[in-house]
Amino acid sequence: MAEYQLAATDSIIRTEDGALIPPDPANRDYVEYQEWLDDGGVPDPYVPPEPVPPDAPPEAELLYDHENRLRTLEGLPPLSLTDFLKKAGMV
């Protein structure tokens, strides 16, 4: 793990404390980052966050439970909520 990590924007994250450093030459932390780069430092790449599963509309929960009960009776494996919502065209 490097001392810095690239962020989704043009800012940099200091991994030690999670500080978000804007690309401002007047910012002391940004100057330190530039010196670290000049000394051969390589920041960790940006890692996008895990996607958040969609929220199901209230009626979807009832339909989801019903679908999985039917699948159980038919000897089929249950669907995940995300797969059910896609199959039902709700996302």
Asked whether residue 51 is domain-assigned, the answer is no
Domain ranges, residue 23:
4-38
57, two tokens: 């509309």
pLDDT recorded at residue 78: 95
pLDDT recorded at residue 81: 87
Percentage of residues of the chain with pLDDT beyond 90: 70
Asked whether residue 70 is domain-assigned, the answer is yes
pLDDT recorded at residue 6: 96
Asked whether residue 45 is domain-assigned, the answer is no
Cα–Cα distances in angstroms (integers) from residue 64 to residues 16, 76, 77, 89, in the given order: 43, 14, 13, 12
Q: What is the pTM of this model?
A: 0.58
Integer Cα distance of 20 and 30 in angstroms? 10
pLDDT recorded at residue 20: 96
pLDDT recorded at residue 3: 95
61 φ, ψ (degrees, to nearest 5):
-65, -40
Structurally, the chain folds into a number of domains equal to 2
